[in-house]
């Protein structure tokens, strides 16, 4: 079942004389008990579950999932309160309503930025991929190309949808269809809306594949929340080179859902659900264990593991902590604390607590 992209609200009807008259279709809520306000993020640095980060080496991008936006810093943030320069999906840094036009977003899951300026976003709840052929320069800039996954589905009984992962090097494109359990590949960047992929990988072991990690040549891996392998539903499928053929089998499977990148010195770093993992060389088999696993008391990931090395700093996405933990240099200790957290005045601060936003609230109603 899809996660619905809604704020936590309590609907209070104005005429509560009879229970059967409490609600009507399309009725507006009167009050929000958790959140800033209707269609109000609280500002550029009040994130609501950042789900993916990216950098082209100069700029920094963050998918702010429940705020239906992608935030962009034109220079790499070096302190906790560095303000983003522009926002995609919204006209300003306050609004957070969903949108389905080429300038709107709904529950964005991941973003990829190439050195050549191409930006791609997995617009998850809208079941599509958005492509900017040149790096965006203004708020709510519409995408140049839209790929609707249901429109390009090859099997009507198992349509593609709900994309979580996307990757581009500016020339090629790879996408995860979480619904439909497939990886979609374009050998060249699409030039028109709803252009079909050149080939796909759909394996029986896939459950709900999520994120893509690759350098485009020497490694490719995809996290899967519900993989159909033994008793390890959450794990990662690895290919020891970039897949180039339809249904190309994976080379090995590792327990634990991760997303990461190869470092300039050849090491591989990846964010996981409970810790960040570092290999001295890119693993080529399931037996290669990480050389270092590090975390801290305030690393609270969930559905958004991600790491980016840029400008010598390590940026670690912190999904349930609602910030991005930043290390000025590569950590060397298992419990090493980050130097700051982008979006939080202290590493220990979860800013959603300031607006009383519970992540998994119960709901109850009393009828008399």
Q: What does 41-56 look like in DSSP terms, one character per residue?
A: -SSTT--S-EEEEEE-
In three state form, how does the secondary structure of 118-132 look? CEEEEEHHHCEEEEE
Unique residue bearing structure tokens 């899951």: 109
Spatial separation of the C-alpha atoms in residues 50 and 36, rounded to whole Å: 17
> Region 36-57: what's the mean pLDDT?
94
Strands 161-168 and 145-148: unpaired
56 band by pLDDT with thresholds 50, 70 and 90: very high
**What DSSP state is assigned to residue 162?**
E
Question: What is the chain's length?
Answer: 368
Neighbours of 43 (CB within 10 A): 12
Please enumerate in sequence order all residues whose Cβ is within 8 A of that of 46, keeping only pairs 6 or more positions apart, or say none.
Answer: 36, 343, 351, 352, 355
Instruction: Name the residue among 214, 235, 4 with its Cα closest to residue 124.
Output: 4
Q: Is the pLDDT of residue 59 over 80?
A: yes
Question: At residue 209, what are phi and psi to the nearest 5 degrees?
Answer: -60, 150
Residue 74: other Cβ atoms inside 10 A: 12
Residues 159-215 have pLDDT tens digits of 999 999 999 999 999 999 999 999 999 999 999 999 999 999 999 999 999 999 999
- At 32 the pLDDT is 76
Give the Cβ contact number of residue 290 at 10 Å: 19
Q: Is the pLDDT of residue 12 over 50?
A: no
Distance CA 356, CA 37 (A): 12
The residues near 112 (Cβ < 8 Å, ≥ 6 apart) are 54, 119, 120, 121, 166, 167, 168
pLDDT at 156: 83
Domains defined along the chain, listed by start? 19-355 (2.120.10.30)
DSSP state of 268: E
Beta bridge partners of 113: 119
In the predicted structure, residue 368 carries a pLDDT above the cut 60: no
pLDDT in tens, 290-348: 999 999 999 999 999 999 999 999 999 999 999 999 999 999 999 999 999 999 999 99
Helix-then-strand count for the chain, H and E: 0, 24
């Amino acid at each position: 079942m899809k996660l619905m992209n809604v704020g936590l609200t309590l609907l209070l009807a104005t005429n509560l004389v009879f229970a059967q008259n409490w609600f009507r279709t399309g009725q507006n809520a009167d009050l929000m008990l958790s959140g800033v306000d209707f269609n109000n993020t609280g500002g550029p640095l009040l994130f609501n579950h950042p789900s993916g980060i990216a950098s082209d080496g100069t700029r920094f991008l963050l998918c702010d999932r429940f705020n239906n936006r992608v935030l962009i810093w034109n220079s790499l943030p070096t302190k906790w309160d560095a303000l983003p320069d522009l926002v995609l999906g919204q006209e300003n840094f306050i609004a957070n309503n969903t949108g389905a036009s080429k300038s709107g977003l709904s529950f964005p899951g991941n973003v990829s930025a190439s050195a050549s300026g191409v930006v791609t976003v997995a617009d998850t709840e809208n079941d599509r991929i958005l492509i900017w052929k040149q790096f965006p320069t203004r708020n709510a800039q519409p995408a140049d190309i839209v790929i609707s996954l249901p429109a390009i589905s090859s099997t009507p009984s198992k349509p593609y949808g709900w994309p979580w992962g996307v990757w581009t090097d500016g020339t090629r494109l790879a996408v995860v269809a979480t619904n439909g359990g497939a990886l979609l590949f374009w050998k060249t960047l699409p030039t028109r809306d709803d252009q079909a992929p050149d080939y796909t990988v759909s394996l029986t072991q896939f459950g709900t594949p999520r994120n893509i990690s690759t350098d485009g040549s020497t490694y490719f891996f995809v996290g899967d929340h519900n993989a159909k392998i033994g008793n390890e539903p959450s794990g990662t499928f690895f290919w020891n080179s970039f897949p180039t053929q339809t249904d190309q089998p994976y080379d090995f499977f590792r327990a634990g859902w991760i997303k990461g990148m190869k470092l300039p010195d050849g090491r591989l770093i990846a964010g996981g659900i409970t810790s960040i993992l570092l290999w001295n060389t890119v693993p080529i088999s399931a037996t290669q264990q990480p050389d270092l696993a590090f975390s801290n008391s305030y690393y609270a990931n969930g559905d958004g593991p991600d790491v980016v090395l840029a400008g010598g700093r390590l940026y670690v996405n912190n999904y349930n902590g609602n910030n991005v933990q930043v290390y000025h240099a590569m950590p060397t200790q298992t419990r090493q604390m980050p130097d700051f957290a982008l979006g939080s005045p202290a590493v220990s601060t979860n800013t959603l607590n300031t607006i009383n936003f519970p992540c998994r609230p119960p709901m109850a109603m009393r009828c008399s």
